[in-house]
Structure formats: C-alpha cells, structure tokens
Homo-oligomer: A and B are copies of this chain.
Amino acid sequence: MHTREACVAADRQDPLAPLKARFDLPPGVLYMDGNSLGVMPRAAAARAAEVITQEWGTGLIRSWNTAGWFELPSRLGDKLAGLLGAKEGELVITDTTSLNIFKALAASLRIQQKRQPERRVILSERDNFPTDLYMIQGMIDLLQQGYEMRLIDDELPLDRALDEDVAVVLLSHVNYRSGQMHDMAAVTRQAHERGALVIWDLAHAAGAVPVDLNGADADYAVGCTYKYLNGGPGSPAFIWVAPRHIPDFWQPLSGWWGHQRPFDMTVAYEPAGGIRRYLCGTQPIVSLAMVECGLDVAREADMAEVRKKSLALADLFIALVEERCAGHPLTLVTPRNHAERGSHVSLRHPNGYEVMQALIARGLIGDYREPEVLRFGLTPLYFGYADVWDAVEILKDVLDSKAWDKPEFKQRSAVT
C-alpha cells in the first residue's frame, strides 16, 4: 500500500468499515488519540438525553428501580465481559481505574498475608502508567506494614525481579507510552510459579487487543472505558476478579453499594455475595449509562478482525513514516513484533512537544508524553488505511517545512 489509492482500496475491503458510521467524528480531523479519549458514538447524546430528561427529570428517585440504575454497574460489566475473556458476573463498571487498583491491591495483599505473610514487595514497572505507581505508594504509606515497591526496568528485568519477596505484581498489559504489550498468559504463569499474584491494568488494552483473562489465569484486572471503548470523558472504570477469588474477596472501600442488603440499613458491613462487593459509593449515572453506547459498537465487531486491522494500520503507519519521513530524527519506540505491540505507535522526536502541537493545528490529533514521545492511536472501529496515509502526509509536511518551529507550539498547556 504505497499509494493513497491502494489505501482507499483497502478501506473498501475492510469488514469493519461500516462501524465508522456508528460514531460522530468532527469534520477536518484525523483522530489518532483514541488511546487517550475515544470518540463519541452516535447513540451517546440521545442516551444521555434519555437518562437526563426521562430517567432523572421525570422518573426521579423511582428510576433506581424503574430505569435499572441499581443494576447498571453489573449489567454493563456483563456486556463488557466477553471482550475481556471474562464471564458474566465477574466484573463491574464502577469508580476509576486508580481506585480499582487500590481495591485489587488491597485484596491481593490480603490473600498473600494469609498464604505467604513474609512477602512484602509489590512489583511493577518503572515505565508503568504513573497512577499505578502512585496508588502503590499510597497503599504502602497507608498500611505501614513494611511493604516496598520494586520496579522492573532495563537493569532489573522481570525474571530477576520476581523473587520470593514479591507478593503482588501490577503490570499494564499494554504500556501507555511505548505501546509495548506483555504476553499476559506467560507473565501470569511465571508470576504464579514464583508465588506472586498478578493484577493487570487493561487501560490501553480493553477494546484494543484480544484479552483472555480467564484463559491467562489472571487474578485481578482493572481498566478504563473511555479510551478504546469510547465510553465518554472520564467514564467509570472496571474491575474484574478471577472467579476463584470472588468468594473470599475483601476490599477496604466498603461503601453502601457493595453491601449484601444495602436497604436494611444495618450497622455492620456485610459484603454482597458476588462481584458487587467491588462497588463502593453512588455512581455518576449519566456518565455510567453512556458507557453502554460504546460497548454496543465494540460488541458488534469481531475482535480478531479488530486486531488484524490494528496491526495492519500500525504496520502501514510505520512503513510510511520510515519511507516518507526518512531523514528526520524520528525513532520508533513501539516494538515491531506483532506479539509485543498494542494498538498505538509511538515515535520519539527531539522536538516532540512542538511537533505534536503543529500536527494538532493541522487537524491530526495524537498526543505527547514525556519524554519526547509522539503517540498515534490506531482505532480500527473508526480509522482507516487512507486516514493513515493522510496522517503521514501531514507529519511529513510538518517535518519538511519545520512548521513546528514556532513560538506558539512551545507553550505548554495544563494538560499535554
């Protein structure tokens, strides 16, 4: 596909192409940031209006029953389950990824306190998304029980880091910056062999790559619905727990919504029997309800086709960048090997921040992550081969013309 015509032809053959019409995309924009915030499903605005004017405005308090608000976290969790190799009743959509990390961390440490109380290391990666590391630090500081965080990096690879002190491993399935993907089954097996439990952060994986939580024998998983699942800005996150851990699962954020009989108003906390004990406080119903619109589109797609197209789009993007932007100081950060790659491609450029601002000004929206990394998300549900072609042409032009070298592109915003 080294012509635009070939890309257009590939789009015509794409079995996922019809799904693009299920989203509302702003004109004049090439959106390659679905790895950060997904686009708006066409159904979302109407669904929100229904929740607001009918369920809230007219139904008022009755909608807890009549509109099914009370069941929403588990009903939507059941809809998501199939995309993650999970079964119904194994996950809920609730709270934020950070908070769900806290719950999974507390739960897994508690299991280890019973099984192997001497283990005091929480293992993660130096390059993990910062909130994962921050939540570990907050937990360690809170517990004051001698836990420490150990970080995998180039000097300390997983195999060496995973010793008999490790209680819990918290890893991102797909790295937020590099796009590098772990072999979930292999890493989980290795961790289990060494006696550790594994929490997978699927923020950059859910809806982006095939995930098989039960097949990989994972212990816990958390993730985000506003990236590849197109749930809306800041839409609630999810938490999954292996069925074997559910019966004795404990988590400390024991709010009313996770109670076995919340309306008995009893003094003693008694956790709900199943996955609902992961719930804590009252959820933001409008934002939560909209998650369904993105899930409904994702469930129509064959995940094998999504993966196939994601890899093909990324291969094309990499090949075109190397061909059309040769001579510019761009370094590929993302692994070329399909088995090690998620669904975004990262390139390093010494003036990465300015280059990204110039691209955005030209209508190609990706994002920038320290240090010097340009991220480009490939989202097969609404991005095509000709889009990749056009994106690389913009990148080439911005680099060739040095259009990024302007004062206005150096100014940092609050959110990068």
Binding site for B on A (CB under 8 A): 24, 26, 29, 31, 33, 36-37, 39-40, 44-45, 48-49, 51-53, 55-58, 60-65, 69-71, 95-99, 102, 106, 126, 129-131, 133-135, 137-139, 141-145, 151, 177, 224, 226, 232-237, 250-256, 259, 262-269, 280-288, 290, 360, 365, 367, 369-370, 413-416
In the complex, residue of chain B having the shortest beta-carbon distance to the beta carbon of A269? B134
Given A55-B233, A97-B282, A138-B252: A264 touches B370 (CB 8 Å cut-off): yes
Give complex CA distance A254, B367 in Å: 24
Given A56-B40, A255-B96, A286-B287: A62 touches B365 (CB 8 Å cut-off): yes
How many chain copies does the complex carry?
2
Give complex CA distance A95, B262 in Å: 20
The 8 Å CB contact of A253, one of B53, B65, B99, is B99
A268 and B98 form a contact (CB under 8 A):
no
> Which chain B residues border A71 with CB–CB below 8 Å?
414
> Which chain B residues border A44 with CB–CB below 8 Å?
52, 56
> Which chain B residues border A131 with CB–CB below 8 Å?
255-256, 281
A255 and B61 form a contact (CB under 8 A):
no
B256 and A134 form a contact (CB under 8 A):
yes
B130 and A65 form a contact (CB under 8 A):
no
> Which chain B residues border A416 with CB–CB below 8 Å?
263
Give complex CA distance A144, B109 in Å: 13
> Which chain B residues border A286 with CB–CB below 8 Å?
48, 232-234, 284, 286-287, 290
In the complex, residue of chain B having the shortest beta-carbon distance to the beta carbon of A71? B414
The 8 Å CB contact of A61, one of B62, B250, B287, B367, is B367
Given A233-B285, A286-B48: A370 touches B24 (CB 8 Å cut-off): no
Given contacts A64-B414, A139-B252, 16 further A-B contacts (CB under 8 A): A37-B56, A45-B49, A61-B365, A95-B281, A98-B256, A102-B253, A130-B266, A131-B256, A133-B267, A134-B254, A134-B259, A142-B143, A226-B282, A236-B284, A263-B415, A286-B287
Minimum C-beta distance from A109 to chain B (A)? 9
Given A96-B282, A252-B139, A370-B264: A360 touches B130 (CB 8 Å cut-off): no
> Which chain B residues border A415 with CB–CB below 8 Å?
64-65, 69-70, 263
> Which chain B residues border A52 with CB–CB below 8 Å?
40, 44-45, 48, 232, 290
B138 and A269 form a contact (CB under 8 A):
yes
Give complex CA distance A96, B39 in Å: 26
In the complex, residue of chain B having the shortest beta-carbon distance to the beta carbon of A96? B281
Give complex CA distance A138, B415 in Å: 34
A130 and B63 form a contact (CB under 8 A):
no
> Which chain B residues border A139 with CB–CB below 8 Å?
252
Given A253-B102, A286-B287: A281 touches B237 (CB 8 Å cut-off): yes
Give complex CA distance A377, B290 in Å: 30
In the complex, residue of chain B having the shortest beta-carbon distance to the beta carbon of A57? B40
Give complex CA distance A267, B264 in Å: 44
Give complex CA distance A360, B48 in Å: 26
Give complex CA distance A251, B138 in Å: 7
A414 and B70 form a contact (CB under 8 A):
yes
> Which chain B residues border A264 with CB–CB below 8 Å?
370
User: Can you spell out 25 A-B residue pairs with CB atoms less than 8 angstroms apart?
Assistant: A31-B60, A40-B57, A44-B52, A45-B49, A48-B49, A55-B233, A56-B233, A69-B415, A96-B255, A98-B253, A130-B259, A131-B256, A134-B254, A138-B253, A138-B254, A141-B254, A177-B265, A232-B286, A233-B285, A234-B284, A263-B415, A263-B416, A284-B286, A284-B288, A287-B287
